[in-house]
Amino acid sequence: MVDIARITQVVEPEVKALGFDLVRVKLIGKSEAGDDEPALQIMAERPETGQLLIEDCAALSHRISDRIDALEEAGEVLIEGAYRLEVSSPGIDRPLTRPKDFSDWAGHEAKVKLNRPVADNRKALQGDLAGIEGETILFDDRKSGRVTFAFEDVDSAWLVLTDRLIAATRPLDASGAEEILAEEEG
């Protein structure tokens, strides 16, 4: 079994060393490419923009890969067998994985899946983030109105792509994408 906490301990210093914030570490059964190889998904962001440029992803990918390789050479295998490393920005309809995400994105629409039911015995909520007080998330659910729940009770949460979210998000910078694609094709 893969120890995500240990992988996070290995990855986070590499992310921080480049001046980024770690958003999520997740092992998914199949890669984004759709093959059967599991994918180690690393999401990170620049604190000032909430995104990564393509060259940031490439630099972080190399740094993480080198660190994992060094551990394997020293005898510590983090993931058995073949896998794909996927490094990306969290994107506009980003996952909400840290308490600060619920504060930073207050006023925007989100979907939340909980580990235990709240409001009308429901575990799935959709509505607007209303903020966070300590470790308690405030959420304006479309069906139940204002509900609160502990951050630790969140199974998964993500922003919903809306016109308001698009307007609030800084434009992405795709500079350098053509060069990377040309290298891959060449």
The token pair that represents 76 in the structure block: 């510590």
* Non-local CB neighbours of 160 within 8 Å, separated by 6+ positions: 93, 108, 109, 110, 111, 126
Dist. CA 71–CA 64, nearest whole Å: 11
The token pair that represents 151 in the structure block: 């951050």
pLDDT value for 1: 77
Write out pLDDT tens, residues 85-102.
Answer: 999 999 889 999 999 999
Dist. CA 58–CA 38, nearest whole Å: 19
Domain annotation for the chain: domains and CATH numbers: 4-91 (3.30.300.70), 99-168 (2.30.30.180)
Local confidence band at 119 (pLDDT 50, 70, 90 cut-offs) = confident
Mean pLDDT (whole number) for 106-135: 94
Higher pLDDT, 33 or 50: 50
Neighbours of 173 (CB within 10 A): 14
pLDDT value for 152: 96
Write out pLDDT tens, residues 121-175.
Answer: 999 999 999 999 999 999 999 999 999 999 999 999 999 999 988 888 755 555 5
pLDDT value for 56: 96
pLDDT value for 185: 63
pTM of structure: 0.80
Three-state DSSP class for 30?
Answer: coil
Local confidence band at 31 (pLDDT 50, 70, 90 cut-offs) = very low
pLDDT value for 36: 76
In percent, the amount of the chain with pLDDT more than 70 equals: 88
Look at residue 181 and tell me whether its pLDDT is greater than 90. no
Query: SS3 for 51-72, per residue?
Result: CCCHHHHHHHHHHHHHHHHHHH
